[in-house]
Structure 1
Amino acid sequence: MSNVIEQIKQGNEIAFKKVYEQYWKTVYKFTCMFVSDNYEREEVVQEVFIKLWEIRNSLKEENEIDGLLFIITRNLIFNKTRKSMNELKLKETLKLAEEASNEMEQDLEAKDLALYLDKLIDLLPEKQKLTFILNKKKGLSIKEIAEIMNISEKGVARNLYLATKFLKQHFILFIIIWLYLNARH
């Protein structure tokens, strides 16, 4: 797939069309889980591939296109959802996702979770990433991290809070996509 990514980065529309043809149904099916209106579903799919084309210069060869499409789709859907859903409906959806994550947690393979968590950690801003790694993976206290990073303990606590909040939000989304992908097989 890295060859296709390189071709897309160079503006090769044929390579882009191949990616579109290979993935549009998957993007559409995922969108169906969150968007009920057919027109809006098609709009989301179109926006996903427009966004992919717009960011083609920043694609990395090691990126997996399906993961990138998932992230773009998820972001578009949740941006649209925030605009159109009332707060109660959003709470219900998150509650269902949380319940699904609790039910499926035992079935998820530890390796998949660790890989996904590492990918999420890599998305964190540098200070949050370092704080999280030092605290959760290395077992250092907030005071020890503050000394190492030469920032206040409150700064360390804030970085840790923001990192943990980001990881929790995206973990629930990972559970949803994992359930969807496994339901297809």
Structure 2
Amino acid sequence: MTERELIASLKMGNEDAFTALYKIYWPKVHNFSRLYLTSVSEVEEIVQEVFVKVWEARLFLKEDESFKGLLFIITRNVIFNQFRKSFNENAYKMTVLNSANAEYDLQEEVEVSDLQEYIKTLISELPPRQKEVFKMSREQHLSYKEISMRLSISEKTVERHINEALKYLRKNIYLLSIFLSV
């Protein structure tokens, strides 16, 4: 079945169509969530919540709209809602205000449907070593120990590179969501 047919079947409550869409999009939602979260259990929880929301909203899906784009919007919102719960609100607001001084217009660079391309752009802007470590972790799925051995650096250095990369990505993706919601 095509994606359009799967969505039409899902709207009618077809669990097999849901399972097929889940199998197709699980890896994409999982990898996207890993950009924000380091805990495997948190990532799995987010992915599960995203697909629960898809099932609950199945009647409102439109066959002619981007299902992938919808999944990324839902995933982003679920993650940001989790961040809001876990961060001190005032510190969070200060971070947003401080980072709002960026001199480029995110709204012109990116539309929600192009979020993956935007993330690739952000990753390409990372310092070379940080980018290398981040890609080894996220794209090659190597452990900190494996990365440290391959690059002859300490595991703590690997961890620092990953944390800094994630911090940069979170900040810029959150700013994007603010600009797009205005």
TM range (shorter): 0.5 to 0.7
Partner of 1:68: 70
Kept in 2: contact 1:32–1:41 (CA 8 A): yes
Partner of 2:84: 82
Structure 2 residue runs of 5 or longer lacking an equivalent are: 124-134, 140-182
State the Cα distance separating 1:57 from its structure 2 match.
Answer: 0.8
State the Cα distance separating 1:72 from its structure 2 match.
Answer: 0.9
In structure 2, give the amino acid aligned to 1:49. F
In structure 1, give the amino acid aligned to 2:53. K
Q: Distance in 2 between matches of 1:94 and 1:66?
A: 30
In structure 1, give the amino acid aligned to 2:7. I
Q: Distance in 2 between matches of 1:174 and 1:88?
A: 30
Kept in 1: contact 2:69–2:113 (CA 8 A): no
1:22-101 equivalences in 2 (<5 Å): 22-86=24-88, 87-88=90-91, 91-92=94-95, 99=102
State the Cα distance separating 1:179 from its structure 2 match.
Answer: 2.3
State the Cα distance separating 1:90 from its structure 2 match.
Answer: 6.1
Report the CA distance shift for 1:49/1:92 in structure 2 as closer, same or farther (over 3 A).
Answer: same
State the Cα distance separating 1:47 from its structure 2 match.
Answer: 0.3
Structure 1 residue runs of 5 or longer lacking an equivalent are: 117-172
SS in 2 for 1:80: helix
Aligned structure 1 segments of 4 or more residues deviating by more than 2 angstroms: 86-99, 101-106, 173-185
Number of aligned pairs? 121
Kept in 2: contact 1:28–1:42 (CA 8 A): yes
Partner of 2:13: 11
Report the CA distance shift for 1:66/1:175 in structure 2 as closer, same or farther (over 3 A).
Answer: closer
Report the CA distance shift for 1:176/1:60 in structure 2 as closer, same or farther (over 3 A).
Answer: closer
Residues 136-181 of structure 1: per-residue CA shift (max 9 Å, x gap):
xxxxxxxxxxxxxxxxxxxxxxxxxxxxxxxxxxxxx778643225
Residues 50-92 of structure 1: per-residue CA shift (max 9 Å, x gap):
1000110111121211011011111111110000023435654
Give percent identity, aligned residues only.
37
Name which structure has the greater RCO, CA cutoff 8 Å, separation 6+: 2
Q: Distance in 1 between matches of 2:63 and 2:56?
A: 16
State the Cα distance separating 1:40 from its structure 2 match.
Answer: 1.0
Kept in 2: contact 1:44–1:76 (CA 8 A): yes
Bigger Rg, structure 1 or 2: 1
In structure 1, give the amino acid aligned to 2:33. T
SS in 2 for 1:66: helix
Report the CA distance shift for 1:39/1:30 in structure 2 as closer, same or farther (over 3 A).
Answer: same
Provide TM-score, normalisation by structure 2. 0.54
Q: Distance in 2 between matches of 1:89 and 1:22?
A: 34
Report the CA distance shift for 1:48/1:98 in structure 2 as closer, same or farther (over 3 A).
Answer: farther
